[in-house]
Structure 1
Amino acid sequence: MSVPAPRASTPQAPDPPGRQPGVGPDPSPWLLAGPYPACLVVGIVVLAMGVLARRPDVGVLGVPLLLMVAWTWFRRPTGRPEVQIAHGEQTPGSGRLTAEIRVGDQAAERPRNLVGFRVGAPGHRPVECLVPDRPGTYPVSMRTVRTGRREVFWLEQRAASPDRLWVIPPAERESLELTVLPTSHPLALAPLPFRLAGLTGQHGSRRAGDGGDLHDVAPFAPGDRLRRIDWRVTARLNTGGPPIADRAAPPITTLYVRRTFATADATVMLVVDSRDEVGPRVVTWNDSAALGEREASSLDIARVAAASVARHYLNAGDRVGLEDLGRLRRPVPPAAGRRQLDRLVRRLALAQPAGEPTERKRVPRLPSGALIIVFSTLLDDDPARLASHWRRAGNRVIVVDVLPPLSTVDLNSRRLTAYRIVALERRDRIRRLAGNDVELVSWPSTADPVVPRSALTVLARQRRLPLGASR
């Protein structure tokens, strides 16, 4: 699925002081280069030396230089070369982002100049290129494991006339922002809430209705459908009564119907903690911009995990919603369908930290009886407090730990001590969650879904009951 992005606008020369915008001709962006004054000075000096020394043969040597300068002055370039950077085709999960550098304007009528541009990307070495000013497209690409709304490419451009005497200095850097959508991994099985809701679905419930699994056999009652009558059971159970003269079998006095378990769908709420974003190197925790393009942050892992879980439940016909703890806005209500998956993936890609992490004073209101899956690093008490509250309210709560494998290299003694204190508090927080009957799953990376897939399969096969319910 490609991610559309606005095309970068071509920078325009600023208006000179005292001139109103849109009034009068725009000033030319072309400036004289270094060889131009040198050729002019050398030509004048040689011509003057020939005149003063009365040496016409010497003075003639400066005439070609002066003629070249005059010719270049009267053929001064006009207009600005068109150089734009635009998005290319993006494939979620491929790890490659592409863009296109579009040079030249087909409708322009001017001499073919030279255009130089430099393209860079975060964590990559810039690439420079010098091309003629004619229509053409030059693709560029980069590799990354990061997701979300990011500035992925920047462009610097300059131009020169064919004789290198007129140039356009480097303009302001243009940037291209893309919304990199997270990929999703297929899951075999996933846990369900304690009680299923809805009148139809793909999951078997515990109430009688139209379904597939046998519930029991009961006498026919008003409201039962005739197609539910089990004639074999009816014939076997109707053994009493006087026999009919022309038949050997006893008469049928009671009809029996087969009742089945009804099917239902599940309601799943994804809760993403986007209040902080940390990388695998602890030394970069105070600066998320220091993360490399090959280092997936905790929020990148949360996006991939949430997209994978949402895809699994929506493919099963369930209803999935989304709550972002980092934004005080209305959550995405639970819904089903392909459009809901696109909406959730887009909202996940736009989830990012906004200032310092804040504590939720009021617990978000989520649908009763829903399966709540929390994606968090558990570096503070707020997600654990909310998860415990939802579990006490009777919901099944699963916490997905999205903290990447950590590296404490380059930490001094003070920072290492601070990290150990944070790690101990996080460990105690996880123990309290287990004591509150909150299930925990670890999702360590964006590229290897084997461990979380196995953990979710184990949770799906476990039969769990609400707090206080008897087996």
Structure 2
Amino acid sequence: MSTAPLGSRPGPATGHREAAADGREWVVDAGQVWAMGAGLVLLVVGALLGRPDAALLGVPAVLGSAWTLVSRPGGRVRVDARLAPSSDGLHALREAAPAPEGAGGSGVAGHGDVSRGDRLETVTAVQTLVAGGSLVARLDLHAPPGAGTVRVRAIRPGHRAAEAVVHVPLVRRVDVTATSVRTGAQPLFVVVHQGIGAGRRSQPGREDAGTVLVLPKPRRVARLPLPGRLRGLTGQHESRRPGSGGELRDVHPFQPGDSPRRVDWKVTARRSPRLEELYVRRTMALGEAVVTVVVDSRDDVGPDPATWSGYHAIRADDATSLDIARQAAASLAQGYLATGDRVGIEDLGVRRRAVRPGTGRRQLDRVLQQLAALRPEGEPPDRLRPPRVAAGALIYVLSTFLDPEAAVLARGWRRVGHTVVAVDVLPRLRLRGLDRRHRIALRMVRLERQDRLAELEASGVEVVRWVDEEAATAHLQRLSRLSHRRPVAGTREVGAGHQVAGRRTAGRSR
């Protein structure tokens, strides 16, 4: 049996075309036509030359080809593609090891023995977790009687296509996987399928699985810095304001409004033996932090500077700056929400994308959905005023800082007293293959960018480079230890009164 490339349409010289009862076309394989022709030639030659042995050689070929012409599959091949569900009922990306640097575009791969039809590949549009893993799809192959084999080819933009021939006894389920290091909305698979019967094959069919929204995977950060002031009367952080719920602040003479249960009788007996004055134990109040994560979605650049102009596509196995920003924002949001703090999201690119500060698991889901939906949308309008943030909020600005807008906003927030942390999400650059013109342009851009980051640090904004996650986590933990310290007598108050790395400062009361 001869085969043609999947997706090609056979011409008149390839075989005879007949329409199936349901309108789908099944084509007689060209090998069967040649077999019938050869059998007829042997029959004619054997009859003319009086050679029955030669004529008998042509009988099987003629009978087999004749059976193929009169019999055909009774339906069409159908493929149902969907995303494979995870164990918790959500659609998820299973974690996998990252691709080595410098490797080619990742391909779509099947699981198991393809000759047995165990696994292959494809997917439908659904929201998924988590980036940096394998996107698992599920194919339900339906073949009509008489067509026991289906050839399937899965194609995904930026990946190598995968093809397999699968034995399908009427219905067969196969799984498909493709590695992914990208987040956000992504095109999924296009599945081209073709049924193969006894001497026939169907016209190739095409199924488009649509797009999928890949959510960023948060990274656990043990400790995170706090803003200069905590809000509210509840929370898990000890404020510098007097109140209830925290550690001992001091012992003070009883005043109207103090609870009698707070009277410290030992101190009272020692300081006022005649009980002329009562002394109460005053504690620190508890509060919650308000954190606003500002993501700069105006550009999305990869590690290859040659692709920044937009004339060349970013490789599918390269994480972009927006992928890094989504992962960093998700990690920060998860860390603060886990301790009962309030987290909100602002987008510098599109004004309508804003998640108000909130708490709880549902807030984390909203944050992840919003982060996955961030993408550049044309030329962003100029902002007349910065995004609104709560008073005393801790602000994270996630940007590549390739232009001055994000840095200007960060310095403005710092001047009005906010604690600001600038998170640099520019990927680690790959300089191989750059010509002299690109290298000169890149050097100028990097010098301007370094000057912006230096100005941010000089204005009191902490700069954290997230491309190295281990170093970024250690930097945040160092800031956390400083921000959790109480004011030290004799130290100088700076801005909102927060303590930053490399500078020992005292803060006013939270």
Q: TM-score, normalised by structure 1?
A: 0.82
What residue is the counterpart of 2:466 in the other structure? 443
Q: Which of 453, 460, 468 matches 2:480?
A: 460
CA contact (8 A) 1:98 1:139 kept: no
CA contact (8 A) 2:135 2:180 kept: no
Q: Which of 360, 369, 377 matches 1:346?
A: 369
SS of equivalent residue, structure 1 residue 462: helix
The residue type equivalent to 1:444 in the other structure is V
SS of equivalent residue, structure 1 residue 434: helix
SS of equivalent residue, structure 1 residue 421: helix
The residue type equivalent to 1:188 in the other structure is A
What residue is the counterpart of 2:206 in the other structure? 172
TM-aligned CA deviation for residue 266 of structure 1: 0.3
Q: Which of 320, 331, 354 matches 2:354?
A: 331
What residue is the counterpart of 2:136 in the other structure? 99
Which has the higher mean CA deviation after the structures are superposed, 151-160 or 272-281? Answer: 151-160
TM-aligned CA deviation for residue 80 of structure 1: 1.7
CA contact (8 A) 1:96 1:141 kept: no
TM-aligned CA deviation for residue 341 of structure 1: 1.2
What residue is the counterpart of 1:259 in the other structure? 282
What residue is the counterpart of 1:366 in the other structure? 389
Write the distance in 2 (CA, Å) between the matches of 1:42 and 1:424: 76
Write the distance in 2 (CA, Å) between the matches of 1:209 and 1:312: 26
Write the distance in 1 (CA, Å) between the matches of 2:384 and 2:191: 44
What residue is the counterpart of 2:180 in the other structure? 144
Structure 2: any 5+ residue segments left out of the alignment?
A: 1-6, 8-20, 87-91, 97-131, 484-491, 498-505
Q: 1:214 to 1:60 in 2, by over 3 A?
A: closer
How many residues matched? 431
What residue is the counterpart of 1:311 in the other structure? 334
What residue is the counterpart of 2:266 in the other structure? 232
Q: Which of 323, 336, 340 matches 1:300?
A: 323
Which has the higher mean CA deviation after the structures are superposed, 319-328 or 293-302? Answer: 293-302
Identity of aligned residues (%): 43
SS of equivalent residue, structure 1 residue 30: strand
Write the distance in 2 (CA, Å) between the matches of 1:353 and 1:438: 26
Written as runs of structure 1 = structure 2, the 5 A alignment for 1:40-439 is 40-46=36-42, 64-88=60-84, 89=86, 90-91=92-93, 93-94=95-96, 95-105=132-142, 110-121=145-156, 124-134=159-169, 135-161=171-197, 163=198, 165-172=199-206, 174-175=208-209, 177-239=211-273, 250=274, 252-287=275-310, 290-356=313-379, 358-439=381-462
Larger Rg: 1
Alpha-carbon RMSD across the aligned residues, in angstroms, is 2.9
CA contact (8 A) 1:216 1:258 kept: yes
SS of equivalent residue, structure 2 residue 66: helix
The residue type equivalent to 1:114 in the other structure is T
SS of equivalent residue, structure 1 residue 455: helix
CA contact (8 A) 2:231 2:288 kept: yes
Q: TM-score, normalised by structure 2?
A: 0.76
Write the distance in 2 (CA, Å) between the matches of 1:109 and 1:280: 49
TM-aligned CA deviation for residue 263 of structure 1: 0.5
Write the deviation string for residues 40-68 of structure 1: whole angstroms up to 9, x where unpaired. Answer: 44455555556777877766665554443
The residue type equivalent to 2:217 in the other structure is T
Q: 1:328 to 1:78 in 2, by over 3 A?
A: farther
